[in-house]
Amino acid sequence: MLWKISFAFSVFVVFTGPGWAEDKYSAKQVDTAAPDEIKEPIRKLLGEKAIQFLDAKGGVLCEVWFSKELSAKAAADQVKNGLTYREIPESTVIGAIRFPQARNDYKKQSIKAGVYILRLGFQPENGDHMGTAPNPDFCLLTPAAEDKDAGPLKTKELQELSSKASGTSHPAVLLLFPIPLKDAGDMPKVVNKGEGHWVLSIKMPVKTGDDKADLGIGLTVIGVSTAA
């Protein structure tokens, strides 16, 4: 099974404004267009600004372009009680990410420098992943040059495409944390989740039929699975 090995790379970031910081990491929003490597069907989904995740010396560890809007399948009571990742269809494009240098993913796999699409994925419920991550929701990285269509992918297709980013039989993965709307903002934040996990957090608009809502996104940028 493609997800049999436990995940090992995670990043937690929370943005509170331009130049936000907590301990050794910070984030800022910049007017940088999405990279040319991203195919047009996906590029047009992305926002016009990038979020830079910075180290203590101001070095850019990664840049993220989140999608302008997500689509959900949710009943009115679900929207009222608060959306979760599970109301968003698997393989939805959450955004794109650029690594200036090679980085580890949540599974501690080495991911080459380059541009990747972030697609929503769910950890298989087959018993092989118990205790490998605090949450079962992830962004799977796919090579931007090979992810040519913004449409949905079947689970196996998504995993196989993501495996091209990791160079192994396991997808390249970044852990997602649930972020309550009261803690999410229109501007990104960097949050320390403990145990070496740092998360990039932001509130994203979501369309649910004729209604609109918001979802707190928490993308793990720094941190690895204890099972890695």
Using CA of residue 148, residue 174, residue 33, residue 102, what is the dihedral sign? negative
Separation CA 201–CA 185 (nearest Å) = 8
SS3 39: coil
Rounded-to-10 torsion of CA 22, 25, 28, 33 = -150
pLDDT (average), residues 16-20: 37
Task: Please state, rounded to an integer, the average pLDDT across all residues of the chain.
Answer: 87
Contact 178, 135 (CB under 8 A): yes
pLDDT of residue 18: 37
pLDDT (average), residues 32-48: 96
Beta strands in the chain (DSSP E): 20-22, 25-30, 50-54, 60-66, 70-71, 93-99, 103-104, 110-111, 114-122, 137-143, 172-178, 189-194, 197-208, 211-222
Separation CA 32–CA 49 (nearest Å) = 5
Q: Is the pLDDT of residue 17 over 70?
A: no
pLDDT of residue 69: 97
Separation CA 173–CA 180 (nearest Å) = 22
